[in-house]
Amino acid sequence: MTNSVAVIVGSLRKDSLNLKLAQALEKLAAGKLVFDYVDIGDLPAYNDDLWVNPPASVLRMKEQVAKADGLLMLTPEYNRSYAGILKNAMDWGSRPYGQGVWQGKATAVAGTSPGSIGAAVGQARLRADLASLSTVLAPLPEVNLQWKPAAYDESGDVIDAGTRAFLQGYIDQFAAFIAKNA
Ligand SMILES: Cc1cc2nc3c(=O)[nH]c(=O)nc-3n(C[C@H](O)[C@H](O)[C@H](O)COP(=O)(O)O)c2cc1C
């Protein structure tokens, strides 16, 4: 069975390493998971007043997350935390009160950085906040991946054997977790 995953990348850069990581995971998940990328770059800064006439971008984001079987968030590390655009999306998705989309969602976090700890601190903070939103975090190995361009070919496939085996195991375990919890 193929389950769907709402994928939210916490970087808006067109050459984002975290987007590349998401796309590499998508290829490794073929046949098990279908990735639905959620654009959060067009969400306004959170403003409770806007619920009177909710922005289309907010409604679209909430619908994409609500209908997905699972959620994958990838974050760069920004100043030892996760990306602010993710927090903004999390806040929008948590409201109106009682109509949030995060609760009970089978969720995984991943991240990469050129730095040696691979966005580990940012991801830890993201996991803590996702727990506050009552997502169901999958018990997965942490993808604290230091980005090494040589591990990928021109089409984005993972060609380094160790990295590929690690990411394959991660996404396979997430697929199994979603199948069990969705
Ligand atoms: C505002 C800002 C803060 C950053 N802080 C960190 C940091 O705390 N730790 C880290 O490893 N890298 C840090 N970086 C470097 C990012 O990891 C790097 O730019 C990465 O490529 C961003 O992810 P992306 O390629 O998906 O956009 C920072 C970058 C920016 C722009």
Q: Measuring from each residue's beta carbon to the nearest atom of ligand 1, which residues come in under 6 Å?
A: 11, 13, 16-18, 76-80, 113-115, 119
CA torsion sign for 76, 163, 105, 27 is: positive
pLDDT tens, the chain, 182 aa long: 799 999 999 999 999 999 999 999 999 999 999 999 999 999 999 999 999 999 999 999 999 999 999 999 999 999 999 999 999 999 999 999 999 999 999 999 999 999 999 999 999 999 999 999 999 999 999 999 999 999 999 999 999 999 999 999 999 999 999 999 87
DSSP 137: E
| Total of domains in the chain | 1
3-state secondary structure of 112: strand
CA dist 134 and 132 (Å) reads 5
Q: What is the pLDDT of residue 1?
A: 77
Cis preceding linkage at 96, omega within 30 = yes
CA dist 175 and 126 (Å) reads 21
Could you tell me the CATH number of the domain that includes residue 140?
A: 3.40.50.360
Tell me which of 8, 77, 125, 144 to substitute to probe ligand 1's pocket, judged by most ligand atoms within 8 Å of the beta carbon: 77
| Position in ligand 1 atom list of the atom nearest CA 76 | 23
CA dist 166 and 180 (Å) reads 21
Q: Give the domain extent around 163.
A: 3-181
